């Protein structure tokens, strides 16, 4: 029997997936986001049939290979399998309840966003899971609390062997505390800078032009991605709030955003427009997630740190009652270590050692803020 993607047994990571009917549908679920995941549980009388992931690979083509996935089935991890029409999964060795979680590990940084009316081609498209006939699905539901983790190639895991990335580690830590999480990260991207392999088909995060001293200017919605999942699907509900799955009342509880590195190193951003993007982007996030804790992560290399601090300070001055906006700064010493030639922590793209340290510190800061708010 095949368990379809619209089965109540499937739970997909929030803010990452679209379908054949908007954010849902019965034919498939699709994502391009690193560390996007789904989980499913079922019960079988025997293990005569190997659980097999069913995928639609009709969009693939070009000079790069399909995305890579990893999974955990009944406690056994399997890594680096490529998307294919049928993917047998090892691990279900005993009759009874089975639990499967699948993650998108990595994909080529191109042709993922799509164009209006056309899907990206370099995507993961899940159709269902084939299991033993007579199996019983175990309904589940996503947790109401979730974290949205935003950033560039560093947040996407480049240099960290993907699954060792701080964003994945922070997300998994939050899962132990009853949260879901969705990573929305794109190589080359920034507040203004377009993402994915240049010339880049992914819009900048919050694009402003013609501002004066960091104020005003023209906002370009069609050139911005803060409120979109891909070229064809809004991230917002009917009330204009960020939504995990498209419904109302599904705003994130936690938002982290790590941008500024590419805006600095590519040296194409107008200083005034960049500051305006930070300030107005923060305001847009607050309006779209009124009760979320928002953590502005200073890029680990200290890129555009002064501007980010200024944007947050200006926001706090304008909205002194909002105590849920916080700066997370790993400090200047981190930047020194990352800048060292052949340093212990890597370079522009930190290595797994550095990501482990960052994840520990970021998780601690987030949990401290959440616990303080709960008291």
Using CA atoms, how far apart are residues 273 and 246, in angstroms rounded to an integer?
A: 31
User: Using only C-alpha atoms, what is the Rg of the chain?
Assistant: 21
What class has domain 146-374? alpha beta
Q: What is the band of 226 on the pLDDT scale with cuts at 50, 70, 90?
A: very high
Residue 103, pLDDT score: 98
Query: Residues 65-112: pLDDT tens digits?
Result: 899 999 999 999 998 899 999 999 999 889 999 999 999 999 999 999
Query: Does residue 63 surpass a pLDDT of 80?
Result: no
Residue scoring higher pLDDT (200 or 26): 26
Residue 171, pLDDT score:
98
Angstrom distance (rounded) from CA 74 to CA 60: 30
The pLDDT mean for the chain works out to: 96
User: Per-residue pLDDT for 44 more than 80?
Assistant: yes
What pLDDT shows up at residue 206? 98
Phi, psi values for residue 149, rounded to 5°:
-115, 110
Q: State percent of the chain over pLDDT 70.
A: 100
pLDDT digit string, tens, across residues 146-190: 999 999 999 999 999 889 999 999 999 999 999 999 999 999 999
The predicted structure's pLDDT at residue 328: 98
243-300 pLDDT per residue, tens? 999 999 999 999 999 999 999 998 888 999 999 999 999 999 999 999 999 999 999 9
CA distance 229 to 73: 28
- pLDDT value of residue 242: 98
Q: What is the mean pLDDT of residues 113-126?
A: 95
CA angle 123, 151, 114 (to 5 degrees): 30
> How high is the pLDDT of residue 373?
85
Can you give the pLDDT at residue 9? 98
User: Is pLDDT above 80 for 240?
Assistant: yes
Handedness of CA 56, 62, 67, 68 (dihedral sign): positive
- pLDDT single digits (tens) 170-181: 999 999 999 999
Percentage above 90 pLDDT, the chain: 91
Per-residue confidence (pLDDT) for residue 199, from 0 to 100:
77
- For the question of whether the overall pTM of this predicted structure is more than 0.75, the answer is yes
Residue 12 clears pLDDT 80, i.e. is over it: yes
The ranges assigned to domains in the chain are 2-137, 146-374
How far apart CA 110 and CA 108 sit, in angstroms, is 6
Compute the average pLDDT of residues 23-43.
Answer: 97
Decide: 235 and 227 in contact? Cβ < 8 Å: yes
> What band does 341 get if pLDDT is binned at 50, 70 and 90?
confident
Q: Is the peptide bond before 141 cis (omega within 30 degrees of 0)?
A: no
Contact between 178 and 247 under an 8 Å Cβ cutoff? The reply is no
What does CATH list as the number for 2-137?
2.60.120.260
């Amino acid at each position: 029997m095949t368990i379809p993607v619209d089965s109540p047994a499937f739970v997909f990571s929030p803010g990452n997936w679209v379908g054949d009917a908007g954010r849902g549908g019965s034919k498939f679920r699709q994502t391009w986001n690193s560390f996007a995941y789904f989980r499913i549980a079922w019960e079988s009388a025997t293990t005569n049939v190997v659980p097999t992931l069913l995928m639609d690979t009709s969009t693939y083509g070009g000079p790069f290979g399909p995305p890579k996935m990893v999974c955990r089935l009944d406690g056994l991890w399997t890594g680096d399998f490529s998307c294919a029409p049928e993917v047998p999964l090892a691990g279900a060795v005993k009759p009874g309840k089975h639990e499967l979680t699948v993650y998108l590990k990595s994909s080529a940084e191109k042709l993922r966003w799509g164009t209006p009316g056309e899907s990206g081609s370099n995507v993961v498209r899940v159709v269902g899971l084939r299991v033993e006939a007579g199996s019983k699905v175990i309904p589940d539901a996503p947790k109401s609390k979730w974290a949205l983790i935003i950033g560039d190639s560093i947040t996407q895991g480049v240099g960290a062997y993907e699954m060792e990335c701080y964003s994945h580690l922070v997300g998994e830590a939050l899962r132990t505390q009853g949260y879901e999480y969705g990573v929305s990260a794109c190589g080359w991207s920034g507040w203004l800078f377009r993402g994915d392999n240049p010339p880049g088909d992914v819009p900048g995060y919050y694009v402003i032009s013609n501002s004066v001293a960091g104020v005003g200017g023209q906002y370009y919605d069609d050139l911005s991605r803060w409120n979109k999942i891909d070229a064809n699907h809004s991230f917002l509900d009917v009330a204009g709030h960020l939504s995990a799955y498209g419904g109302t009342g599904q705003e994130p509880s936690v938002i982290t955003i790590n941008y500024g590195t590419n805006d600095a190193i590519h040296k194409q951003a107008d200083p005034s427009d960049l500051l305006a993007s930070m300030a107005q982007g923060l305001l847009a996030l607050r309006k779209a997630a009124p009760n979320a804790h928002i953590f502005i992560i200073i890029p680990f290399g200290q890129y555009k740190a002064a501007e980010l601090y200024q944007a947050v300070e200006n926001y706090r001055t304008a909205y002194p009652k909002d105590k849920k906006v916080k700066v997370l700064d790993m400090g200047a010493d981190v930047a020194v270590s990352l800048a060292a030639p052949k340093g212990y922590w890597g370079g522009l793209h930190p290595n797994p050692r550095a990501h482990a340290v960052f994840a520990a510190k970021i998780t601690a800061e987030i949990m401290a803020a959440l616990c303080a708010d709960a008291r």
